[in-house]
């Protein structure tokens, strides 16, 4: 009984100190739509039905943020405290499902959408952690989790090896963008400029790594 009361008090304290900057809110909502749409497109390529498409859109769009909030003790997670986040995720999934018969989705588009969502969520997750007065190093880690968590859940549901466990520059790009944001704030840059710098750094590293086929060191075992 007592631990439950303490946990509720801590959660309320975190929520009270969590003031969301308008730019973070925009990045969070935009990332929700982009990742929801991208997750739905991958579900369609796996030939899932409408329900499966919506489930993948929801998990991809909101999974990382839910994990972040649970780790921060901000309960219930912000994605589940209102209607906006689930509705945006489901709307993105429905749009992808309805538009799919009329469009051809190239692999490059999926990669670009994934990179865009990665950058948006890396920025939003890091900013939310900083606003909750989390240590900057932990804020970088939480921003990275926000960016890659939903995609990891999506890959596991599709029985794929998660992208963060492969040698692609993926989670590294999210961590790089989060680090740029934190350093910008540390050196006195306005929050908007530091967020833009972090998002662009993440997006640029991810897209350049795809273009030049950069790989992280992998196992040397044959």
| Mean pLDDT on 40-61 | 92
Distance (Å, rounded) from C-alpha 176 to C-alpha 156?
24
Q: What is the number of other CB atoms lying within 10 angstroms of the CB of residue 166? A: 14
Q: Kindly indicate the confidence band of residue 208, based on its pLDDT and cuts at 50, 70 and 90.
A: very high
pLDDT at 9: 39
pLDDT at 18: 42
pLDDT at 167: 59
Q: Can you give the residue ranges of every domain in the chain? A: 18-212
Q: Kindly indicate the confidence band of residue 105, based on its pLDDT and cuts at 50, 70 and 90.
A: low
Average pLDDT of the chain is 83
């Amino acid at each position: 009984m007592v631990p439950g009361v303490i946990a509720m008090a801590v959660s309320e304290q975190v929520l009270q100190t969590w003031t969301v900057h308008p730019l973070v809110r925009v990045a969070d909502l935009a990332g929700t739509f982009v990742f929801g749409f991208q997750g739905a497109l991958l579900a369609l390529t796996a030939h899932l039905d409408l329900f499966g498409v919506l489930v993948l859109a929801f998990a991809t769009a909101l999974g990382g943020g839910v994990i972040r909030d649970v780790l921060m003790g901000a309960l219930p997670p912000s994605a589940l405290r209102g209607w906006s986040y689930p509705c945006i995720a489901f709307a993105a999934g429905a749009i992808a499902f309805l538009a799919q018969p009329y469009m051809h989705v190239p692999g490059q588009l999926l990669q670009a959408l994934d990179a865009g969502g990665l950058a948006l969520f890396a920025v939003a997750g890091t900013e939310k952690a900083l606003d909750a007065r989390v240590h900057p190093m932990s804020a970088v880690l939480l921003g990275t989790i926000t960016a890659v968590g939903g995609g990891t859940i999506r890959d596991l549901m599709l029985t794929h090896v998660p992208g963060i466990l492969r040698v692609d520059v993926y989670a590294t790009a999210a961590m790089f963008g989060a680090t740029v944001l934190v350093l910008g704030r540390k050196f006195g840059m306005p929050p908007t400029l530091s967020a833009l710098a972090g998002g662009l750094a993440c997006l640029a590293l991810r897209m350049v790594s795809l273009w030049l086929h950069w790989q992280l060191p992998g196992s040397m075992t044959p």
